[in-house]
Structure 1
């Protein structure tokens, strides 16, 4: 498939990433250079880059559970040789889970399984996923509306780890790994110096950096910017993102890396400036914005994560969990506070009615506060839960990021279920 015309439309903003995802859904190969390809199956599955060497194939990432077989089959249409080494750019399941398909194939062929190389913190991540397995399963099941979802664990762990940098020569191919913190603390980007090819991992993902997920561990906005600057200094001629199409040309690669770094540096510097002057989290959240010019870039659209979530993460990184509001230091139970406010308002239904009015007027943030207090004060009230579902639907429609929409939808579904349950009782 010739991806060039579609890429140009993505670059100029006249095409959406959903169109690219549909185009590569059957398994598509981008020829990056002689003996180097990148395999795509969907935007939501990490890119898999494969290097053909005299010692065998080198994989950079492996795909997610439901696309691993398709990805491997696509590679096998290009080269059927042994897989010598697998590099994990980080420990997320859409980059590591395909190792099972690779290992199963090696076992079936009676050849050694490939060695796995990654940053040292990938081991710690895999241990943490096992320790918090129940929580991760609940959160992911809620976010993606998959009741009973079980978060995949047990991926094969790295055989070799490194700390800051690692230089490899495999079958005559020089490969360099660099560690950086961003979406994760275990991330690597991969540099082929003789070819000037950079595989960025999830430091570049064709949307605004995913550094603010509300239900994930601390992410590292300033370090993400530093990693992008480090990549920019390499002056790559080809940039292979962790998600999305390959970017060819030194000028375009530099632009993507520079713009991403500048946007993250702006958020970090502005947040720190306000914190250093004593601003509370509430003040910071409503004052720090990304300049609109960055958010208009087709590779920095805030479609998945929300820059406001990143600001909260920066505040937490430097200032801890306390937000500067004394009522939040040792807060009352939400249900107790809700009951008190409902009594002052003349009943939980009054809070719900006001929430509906505010939502209709476009004041969805304020409406969300009031409807959640109404729900907490009268959780079994059918009419209040019905209003709650409508108010939260308005919040979803007002939210631009997929992540924000997904988390709001968790509670909207809860309201719908409670309304039905109490109606049937």
Structure 2
């Protein structure tokens, strides 16, 4: 699921001449552009929290991202693949090396494959199998991943390659040597995702909410004892809530949560319930003294929403976040907490803008998606009485669209003038 560095290796001429081939799973370009364009700004902002991009590299700051030491920065590049992998079992010979592919869409990434090298009995599991627990719902924000499909892909992987592989390696972590060790590795990662899926659904069908299940469920010892199933990246707590959300969405079925108040209004009401600012602060400090940082953070979050400029509350909430960050086993959890603490103390660093789409990304965006992107950037204030229709005729791509503004909505209709 990683991309964006291809121009370090090739350009359009290299691909057109056949000197270098660019192999990708089907729908790769579409999925890459859709994820990084429509919600790109919000994702980038949250990714800065998740990967600790704004933190110093010190023992008190960012030390890891869980899945690796950190994210790469630089130019975002993208070219059109020369070869699409469209079916499991498809084979290619590249530079004299035979490669056999398994498509694994809809699991760790919307478009992804793993591949097998028969000459060396070596299986590259991409990011479908990792040295840590992965995310079913990434804190940076993305569509929730399907734990059931993920586990089924890993079953198929074992059936396809389990009797042939002597080496298993992936995108992020060290290899597993030997057929037995590789089989155990893949099968226990499969069972980890399947356990979180099945047991979340079981408890969900017994009437428990996502938050309740996340505080009830843990992996069985047979899975939890494996280093590669530890929550150094994804967590059981976060992933079971992802499974719940995948099936039932964000609403937990409790009527009180059907139409919630804004955070600011709720904060003021809780402040009054606690006896005012002094009363809430007293309870928060008591929770801090007891080491109950989760409760302290919840109380102080209300305080900061009610009085966002109150330095004492911001500083104490930062202290609570900091302690939870130091206690977190998950790299992303640590980075989120510590970045939150940093912003409470220092303010938002507006100079550090989000990473935006590059010329390569824009050039690969389908026209209809580009017009959809225009629609999500449209500010409807003062536009409700406007009715506008524009014919778009793209002579280079042989595409035609009607761009229609009505009811404060910007629609696009393809193949019409």
**Is the structural similarity TM-score above 0.5?**
yes
Structure 2, unaligned runs of 5 or more: 55-71, 349-417
Contact 1:144 1:406 in 2 (8 A): yes
For structure 1, list consecutive stretches of 5 or more residues without a partner in the other structure. Answer: 1-89, 420-425
* DSSP 3-state at the match of 2:116: strand
Deviation at 1:377, TM superposition (A): 1.0
Aligned to 1:191: 116
Q: Structure 2: how far apart are the matches of 1:376 and 1:349?
A: 15
Q: 1:177 pairs with 90, 101, 104, which one?
A: 101
Instruction: Give matches, 1:3-402, under 5 Å.
Output: 90=1, 95-103=2-10, 112=18, 114-128=20-34, 129-146=36-53, 153-170=76-93, 172-180=96-104, 181-193=106-118, 195-217=120-142, 218-233=144-159, 234-235=161-162, 236-402=165-331
Change (3 A) 1:157 1:331: farther
Moved more, 405-414 or 352-361: 352-361
Distance 1:345 1:379, change over 3 A: same
Tell me by how many angstroms 1:112 deviates.
Answer: 4.5
Q: Does the 8 Å contact 1:303/1:400 carry over to 2?
A: yes
TM-superposed CA distance for 1:418, in Å, is: 5.0
CA contact (8 A) 1:238 1:248 kept: yes
Paired residues, number: 324
Q: Distance in 1 between matches of 2:26 and 2:3?
A: 15
Corresponding residue for 2:357?
none
1:393 to partner: Cα distance: 1.2
CA-to-aligned-CA distance 1:323-353 (integer Å, 9 cap, x gap): 2232332211100000011012122343233
- Structure 2 vs 1, CA of residues 187 and 349 (structure 1 numbering), >3 Å: closer, same or farther? farther
TM superposition shift of 1:106: 7.5
Who is 1:413 aligned against?
342
Offset of residue 295 of structure 1: 2.6
Distance of 2:298 and 2:19 partners within structure 1? 53
Shift of 1:152: 5.5
SS in 1 for 2:10: helix
* 8 Å CA contact 2:28, 2:111 repeated in 1: yes
Higher relative contact order (CA 8 A, sep 6+): 2
Q: Give CA deviations for 1:91-119 in whole Å, capped at 9, x if unaligned.
A: xxxx3233111015976x99655222222
Sort the Cα spacing of 1:329 and 1:110 in 2 relative to 1 into closer, same or farther, 3 A.
closer
Report the TM-score, using the length of structure 1 for normalisation. Answer: 0.70
When residues 387 and 188 of structure 1 are mapped into structure 2, their CA distance, relative to the original with a 3 A threshold, is same
Take 2:73 and 2:265, find their aligned partners in 1: how far apart are those partners? 34
Distance of aligned partners of 1:262 and 1:143 in 2 relative to their CA distance in 1, 3 Å threshold = closer
Q: Which stretch of structure 1 is more off in the superposition, 379-388 or 225-234?
A: 225-234
State the match for 1:8 in structure 2. none
Structure 2 residue matching 1:330: 3-state secondary structure: coil
Structure 2 CA distance, aligned partners of 1:364 and 1:324?
Answer: 28
The CA distance in 2 between the partners of 1:295 and 1:377, in whole Å, is 41
SS at match of 2:9: helix
Per the TM alignment, residue 124 of structure 1 is displaced from its structure 2 partner at its CA by 2.3
Residue 298 of structure 2 aligns to a residue in which SS?
A: helix
